[in-house]
Amino acid sequence: MRKQLKEAKRIVIKVGTSTLIYPNGNINLSAIDQLAFTLSDLRNQDKEIILVSSGAIGVGLNKLTMDKRPPTIPEQQAVAAVGQAELMNIYNQRFLTYSQQIAQLLLTRDVIEYPESRKNVTNTIEQLLQMGIIPVINENDTVAIDELDHLTKFGDNDQLSAIVAQLIQADALIMLSDIDGFFSDNPNTNKDATLFSEINEINEELLQLAGGKGSRFGTGGMYSKLKAAERVLEHNGAMILANGQQPKIIFDILAGEKIGTLFIQLKKGGTLHD
């Protein structure tokens, strides 16, 4: 099953805050540089790359020398606005080192829900890929809210990355997290926890293993990652969950090496078609 990853041409990469920010709140410049190098080299191999990146609030907190998230939504959105600009500055600097142009897209869920705006987003991404540019996508934290019928939040960037992969019919979604893959239990507290090398369907048993919403398995939560994998599998795609501490691991994943957890249907799959 992993051999088909060698043939993947259109790939969505999702990186979480844990990849971009050290536990002490400082920016992990080494990881960001490695990510820029890896994705730029994949572009040099004529692969089409889309980056879904978290980290706006984390970078904003660092920029504003704040040691914790402020309590109110307006304050958090202000921090995100500062952080998104700073994050793109860092990405621009590092990607240009490798002569790779990037572009920023900030999305809200209502944009995806409406057919016309959905088409516009898809067309923009397609045009950027055609021009050899790497789109860097994040949720627009400054306006995204959940309010009655006005639903604008994706929930998290795990879901956003799966939706983007579906929109542009990606061959694979690589989700980099702070854990080596999906385990039978929390490997940080249970040394006997076993890694699932491959999962072919998302069922209630797996969702229970994930610990439900707000799981103990790191920042994004393993539950949300399984729900993202569920969307990918529903559209006949492939998703790999792996540790993002060293982003160059993407090379090994695309070489078909047995890394992380591969989510894929048992039958031979194609792309993430609607």
List, as residue ranges, the binding site for substrate: 54, 141, 157
Beta strand spans in 54-204 (E): 102-107, 134-139, 146-147, 150-151, 172-177, 198-199
Category of 177 on φ-ψ map: left (φ > 0), alpha (ψ -120 to 50) or beta: beta
CA distance 199 to 211: 17
Contact by Cβ (8 Å): 23, 219: no
- How do 10-15 and 48-53 pair as beta strands? parallel
Residues of the binding site for ATP: 14, 177-178, 219-225
Return the SS3 of 80: helix
User: Which tokens hold the place of 251?
Assistant: 């090379």
Residues of the binding site: 14, 54, 141, 157, 177-178, 219-225
